[in-house]
A and B are shown apart, each in its own frame.
Chain A
Amino acid sequence: MDFGQLMQFVITGLTIGSIYGLIAIGFVAVYNVTGVLNFAHGEFAMVGALTSISLIHAGLPLFLSIPLAIAITAFLGGMIEKTTLSPVRNASVVTLIIITLGLSIIIRGLGYILWGAYPLSMDPFSNNEPIHIWGAVLIPQSMWVFATMIVLLGGLYVFFEKTVFGAALKACVVNRKAAELMGINTKSLSTFSFIMSAAIGAVAGIVITPITSATYDMGLFLGLKGVVAMVLGGMNSLTGAVLGGLVLGLLETFAGGYVSTAYSDAISFAILILLLFFAPNGLLAKASGKRV
C-alpha cells in the first residue's frame, strides 16, 4: 500500500471529520441548554454560508462580510426561537424537536427562494496553494476548518465550565424548575442558546464553503452527519462531538479508500449501529447521574 495514498486518506478524513465536528458542536451546545436536538442547525450553516457569499458579491470585503453574516444568522436564530419555540416552551421535548424539524424544512425552502438551486462558491480565506506532505496534498482551507473547530471547542468549554452564565445555561437542562427557583431566567436562556447555535452554525457553514461550495440544501447532509458525530460522542459532550466527527470522517474515508466508495456510508453507519449497541452512551460517556 502506497504511503502517500494513506497520508491522503488521513488528511481527507480529518478534513471531512472536522466539518462534521464543527456541526456537531452546535448540536451539543443547544442540547446542553434546552435538551432539544435542534434539527434546524444544519440550515443555520446554510444561511450563514449563503449570506456571506451574497455580502461578498455585494462588494463587501471578506473580513467584514463574515462577521456580518454570522450576526445576521444569529439574529435570525433568536427571532426563530422567540416566535416558534418560546410560545410553546412548556410542551414536551419531542414536540419541540418536531418543531425544529419543521423549521428546517421552512428555512431550506426560503433558502431556495432567496438563493436558487445553483451551488455558489467562495474564495479560500488564504492562499490556496496546496501543501505537500509525504506525497499527500493538504488544502490550506482544511487547516482553517480544523483551527476554527479547536478554537470553538476551547471557547465553548471555557464558557460552559468556567463562567457563571455558562453554568446557569447548563443548569437549565439538568432541572429547569430548580434553575428557575434559583433565579435563573430559563426563558431568555433558551433564546440565547438558539442565538449561540445559529452563530456557531454560521461559522461552520462559512468556513467550510470554500471547500464544499454552498447550496440551499447543504444543511440536510451536514445536519445528518453532525447528529451522527454527536451521538458517537455521547450527546452532551463538546469534546465528544469533535472526536465523534473526526472518527466518522476517518471511518468514511478509509472505508471508501480501502474497501469501496460505494459502501463507505453503509460501512460507517454499520459501525455506528454497532457502537451504539455496545457503548450506547457514546465514546466519551460520563457515568453520571445527570440523566434519569
Chain B
Amino acid sequence: MKTIDAPPAPGANARAAAEMAVRASYGRLVAILAARSRNIAAAEDALADALAAALLRWPEDGVPDRPEAWLLVAARRRLGQAARHNRVHEAAAAEIRLLVDTMTETDPAAIPDERLKLMFVCAHPAIEPAAQAPLMLQSVLGLDAARIAASFLTSPAAMSQRLVRAKARIREAGLAFEVPGRDELAGRLDAVLSAVYAAYGTGWDGAFGDDPRRAGLAEEAIWLGRLIVGLAGPQPEALGLLALMLASEARRPARRDAAGRFVALADQHPALWDGLLIDEAEDLLRRAATFGRPGRFQIEACIQSVHLSRRLTGRTDWTALAGFYDLLVTLAPTVGNRVARAAAIAEADGPAAGLAVLDALAAAADAYQPYWATRAHLLARSGQPAEAAASFLRAAGMAEDPALRSYLLGRAATLAS
C-alpha cells in the first residue's frame, strides 16, 4: 500500500515501523520463538538479529505489509541457522518442521499469542522469586536489563546475572511453555500475578523519586495486568489485581502537592483522583466478585475501594477497612499488610489498639520504614509527643524518597518543639 503523503525519509519511516512492530509484538514473538526450543536467550538474540536485518532492508525494499510476520520469519531463519551450528543431538525433522511453520504462519491472524505461556514459564516455581518479575519485564515487554536493575534497586551486573541464570534454568531444566490445566491454574497464576504486582510496587515506590527510569514501571505492570486479563480468560484474582493497580494509579495525581511535597492518604483531595480509572477498577472488582472466590488481590482492591469511596461519601469506613485487613493478613501475613492492619484498627478502635498490634510486630518490622511512620503517627495521637518525634525521625532516616523524608522530618520537628 502506497501512502499519498509526501514520501520523505524512507529510512526514518522504516526505522519507526520496525521499532513499533517490535515494541508491540516483542513478547508475542519471543514467546513463539522460545516455545519449542525453551531458550529465551536464543529467541531474544534471533529477534534482535531480525530487527537489525529489518533496519537494513526496509529502508531499501519498503516496509512489508505485515512487519510482525516478516520479523518472525527472519528470526525463525536465524534460529534455524543457530540450531544447525549448535545442536547436534536434535533430529533434522525438527528443523524441517520449523521451515514448514515458517511457510504457513505468515498470516498475522494465524500468529498465535503465546505470551501467557511465556509469563507462566517466567514465574515457574523453579525460577528464583527475585528473578520472576524482572524476567517477565524483559522477555514479555523487552525492557533492557539496566532499566530493570535501576527499578529493582540492584546493580546492572547483578540483574544481568540473575536474568541469565534464570534463562539458563528454563533451557537446562526444560521448563515447559504451557498454560497449566484447570486444576493447577489457580496456584500457578498466583505466581504470575505476584510477579506483576512486584513490578507495580516497584514502580509505585519510585514514581516520584528522582530516578526517571523507575517512573514508567507502574504503567508497564498495568500493561502486563491487562494482557493477563485478556489472555487468561475470566480469572477472579487476575481481575482483582488489575482493579487494585488501577485503583492505586487513580490516586497518583493526589500523592504530591503543587510543590512536590508528599501528601498522606488521609489528607489527599478526592477531587484529584482519576474518576475514569476508579470506575474501571470498580467494574473489574464487581466482575471478580461474581465468581465468589475471594483472594488477596481482590481483598486489597476492596481496601482501595473503601478508601476511594471517600470521593462519594466524604468519609472513610474504618470498621469495614479493619475487617478487610483481618481477612487479608490471614491470606498474606506480610509485614506491610500487618502494619497497615494496625493503622486501620487504630482508626476504628483508637490509637492504643493500633499500638498494641504494632508492639507485637516490633521484631519483624524493625527495618520497615512504614512501621516507624505508623508508630510515630499513633504515638502522636495518643499524647506521647517525645516518643512520636523519635519514631518520625527513625522513619525519616529510612525514607528513600526525599519528599516523603522531608514530610517525616517536618512531623518530627513539630512534635519535638
Q: Do A and B bind?
A: no
User: Measuring CB to CB, which residues of chain B are less than 8 angstroms from any residue of chain A?
Assistant: none
